[in-house]
Structure 1
Amino acid sequence: MFKYLKDEIKNLKPWEIFEFYDGPRFYSCKSQLGQIYLVYWVDETECADQWLYVKVSAERYYELKNRRIPIYKALVESEEKYSLLITVNNNKEFELRPIQAFDFDPDWLPDETEFVNIDNKSTLLPEKLTDVQTASSSSYRQVLDLALVTANNSYELAAGNLGNILTKVQNFLYASACDNRLNIRKVPDLIKEEQTMNVTTLFASSFGIRLQSKNTDFFENSVSENNLENFMSLLSSINDHEILHEKLSQMNLLTRSRFKALVKELVDNELSIKSEWANPYGKFNANNIEYIALKFALNNIKNGFDSNTQINTYKKVTLVGVDVHSDFFALKTNDKNIIKGKLSKDLESYNFNIPSVLDVTIEETCKIHETSGHEVWSYILMKVN
């Protein structure tokens, strides 16, 4: 066993230095198999230096670097039953012996509240292996990279929050793929099938997520390409209130409501967002939207115009129910949908006939439920022609 350990120690490669004084005093190493060691200088004599070698998992190392645990705890509360005390003489020859924490000399150890002092935080997320352009051209799929940046640049996000953000991105892409000339309340299943984005990898960039279109794109100017290009264009207009207002005004109500919900989710979690998109034919776009810009944009969306409401006129619909005392109406549209809602005050004295075929003007409101994330639609019958 000792021969194996000596061979492993001999072949360790230095990784990161945490403390330097006349040479490294506290640093990390990796073995050829990826095992991480903390190496901590504890004593010196005229002819030798002594070091503690403590095995740590990647998760433990991550906790140490991100100042979740102090140095003392990382050394004393080893994940293994023992550490190694290594004595290196002036000829660079070394001896090792296993040692348990209760045998540590208290003078070896740092203060119990001392943390590593480094600027860069650590993450278990892997680095990007390919950029979006390479990933897209090699797979013939649309590729969208999203990097969610927290206020403290943490590499962690609550699972529920991440799920909500990805759901709102996907729901927006579903809605924005629908024809803006149509009054869409529910996205058709065919559009959902065509516009689904799959999470294919996570990467280190605060918290990075790569999304790729479920389906391949063998031809340019596909619906998926145009949809993602419009999404990137909308994000890029976050910093310009007038352009953002203009673009949102051209979208159907469902799409506007879902974009507002996405921005609100990012703001509620105090996130900035970086995005990169590429298609298989060379198109590329990138944005970097700071939290403060998202917050300002959300305020403008709320106050600049009513992004949740629109006025629609319906021709030759059938009024199937009305109660002026409770301000209730129900009508059937040409596509057989039933719309139920309230009467405006201007129609309280109107003489309705049931059933009757009418041209009507309706105020429609779509809001996203805070808890479920589902759309809640409400209707007011404003005018009967």
Structure 2
Amino acid sequence: MDFDSVITPLGELFITDVLLFIDEPKIFICKDEKNSLFLAYFIDSNNNLDEWFFVKISENRVDEIVTGNISIKAVLQNPESGWLWKAFLHYEDDGLSRIIQIDQHQISKADLPAKEVKIILKNNTNHVYSSNEIAVSHRSKHLRELPNEYLVGKKIAELPPRKNTTLQESLETKRDVLDVSLRINNEFSSELDLEVFGSTLTTIQQLMYALDNRWSGKSKAPQQVRKNNALNVTTLFAASFGIRIKSQNTRDLAQEPEMTNSLGDFLDLLGCSKNAEQLENRLKTLKPKAVTLFKNLLETFNEHQIEPKIEFASPNNTYKETKLNSIQIHNAVGVIKQSGEQSSKVIEMEGELTGLSFESGKFELRNESAELISGRIVSFLEKKNYRLFEKVSVSLLQKEILNSFSGKKQIMYDLLNIKFIEIED
């Protein structure tokens, strides 16, 4: 979500007061293009949708809210108009978002704060705050479990708020910007395990190299690939644990940094992880090294129960955003492991039989390209005396196995059948 506005089926709503910020604005006052005021209240996230209440409010109700004279729960239960909007906003596709109008008596208790939460703005004589002036809660549980009062303006967290949006920073600095927000164990935290922090950053950097088509994934990435895809950590911010990363290079003469494509591919890959079929198809287009690195990144998230939100922007005005929940991450890891384990097919080949031993269960063949092929003998191959160094036609089961540590594909062969080729005089 942008800190300045939110796109809804009601139109674009412009945020004027952020009352509660956990990862992003969760309770805020906003207005539409006609200057009608609304209280926005985040309910929960389900199946790629964020659920919200939007309540139309008057200036008098705004004053009551920001001075703590009325609780958020009371505002929702007693809308001035007698009704409110319940919105289901899709993470990435505005076309799938929807909104319904409900009567105040139709509100589910499960959607309301459990306590009479009150929001008190510091210096309430002027209640208009920018996104840079809001504080972050020291608790990150569901909003229904928040303390009775929450003071905006009191800096509780050690990490500062993000100074501007991802796109704004990219346009101002003329660099690619990647904002990585990590929600840990479904809780807000301004701290992150050092090993997890280092592993996450290192894997993202290596993945940028692997997504560059100029590197095959073998040995070390070429110097030019490393130079063009180099990233710097520039700041940390509250979101829960936010990391701002920028390209080392600024935009080129074509007004586009050299690594924009790699970062864009990274966001697309994360987005595909929400759908097994899309992820399987995407994996087929990647080199083994990239698959292994992406799997390692997701396994780190999975192991430490981290739910990431990733935002990417480039100076050419490109902006992409995606986030993954713990179930999507777990499923994606399973898809990658399954698709990367093994693929096999039967092939026919001609060549010279140079070695065969039923005792060791191994064979060796020199094909017509003078390449030496070796592997196992299947148990059902007829055991008899085979003449070596003669031309044969063989049926082989060729298996491609992805080494999840090295990212390399290993090709193995099983000998299924042998036919000797008679050479005419």
TM-score range, shorter chain: 0.5 to 0.7
Equivalence map 1:178-327=2 (5 Å): 178=213, 184-190=217-223, 191-218=225-252, 219-220=254-255, 223-303=258-338, 306-309=339-342, 325=360
Alpha-carbon displacement from aligned partner over 1:239-280 (angstroms, at most 9, x marks no partner): 222212211122122212221221111111101000110111
Counterpart-to-counterpart distance in 2, 1:365 and 1:265: 23
Counterpart-to-counterpart distance in 2, 1:126 and 1:339: 61
Which AA in structure 1 matches 2:219?
K
Do 1:339 and 1:379's aligned partners in 2 also have CA atoms closer than 8 Å?
A: no
Instruction: Please list every run of 5 or more consecutive structure 1 residues that lacks an aligned counterpart in the other structure.
Output: 1-19, 21-28, 30-61, 68-115, 313-318, 354-359
Say which structure is richer in helix. Answer: 1
Counterpart-to-counterpart distance in 2, 1:159 and 1:340: 46
Counterpart-to-counterpart distance in 2, 1:260 and 1:243: 15
Counterpart-to-counterpart distance in 1, 2:159 and 2:196: 18
Give the TM-score normalised by the residue count of structure 1. 0.54
Cα shift at 1:289:
1.4
Do 2:295 and 2:333's aligned partners in 1 also have CA atoms closer than 8 Å?
A: yes
Alpha-carbon displacement from aligned partner over 1:48-82 (angstroms, at most 9, x marks no partner): xxxxxxxxxxxxxx9x9669xxxxxxxxxxxxxxx
Decide which of 150, 154, 159 is 2:184's aligned counterpart.
Answer: 150
Q: How many residues get paired? A: 259
Classify the secondary structure of the residue corresponding to 1:208: strand
Decide which of 160, 175, 179 is 1:141's aligned counterpart.
Answer: 175
Cα shift at 1:363:
4.2
Classify the secondary structure of the residue corresponding to 1:147: strand
Decide which of 403, 406, 415 is 1:367's aligned counterpart.
Answer: 403
Rg larger for: 1
Which AA in structure 2 matches 1:367?
N
Do 2:183 and 2:240's aligned partners in 1 also have CA atoms closer than 8 Å?
A: yes
Do 2:288 and 2:407's aligned partners in 1 also have CA atoms closer than 8 Å?
A: no
Aligned to 1:98: none
Instruction: Please list every run of 5 or more consecutive structure 2 residues that lacks an aligned counterpart in the other structure.
Output: 1-67, 69-121, 123-135, 141-146, 346-351, 390-395, 417-425
> Which is further off, 227-236 or 322-331?
322-331
RMSD: 4.7
Equivalence map 1:348-359=2 (5 Å): none
Cα shift at 1:367:
3.5
Distance 1:153 1:215, change over 3 A: same
Distance 1:311 1:262, change over 3 A: farther
Distance 1:290 1:344, change over 3 A: farther
Alpha-carbon displacement from aligned partner over 1:173-224 (angstroms, at most 9, x marks no partner): 2111135xx8633353221222121111111101111111122221256651
Distance 1:174 1:361, change over 3 A: farther
Give the TM-score normalised by the residue count of structure 2. 0.49
Cα shift at 1:227:
1.1
Classify the secondary structure of the residue corresponding to 1:242: helix
Counterpart-to-counterpart distance in 2, 1:148 and 1:345: 50
Which AA in structure 1 matches 2:237?
F
Counterpart-to-counterpart distance in 1, 2:220 and 2:344: 20
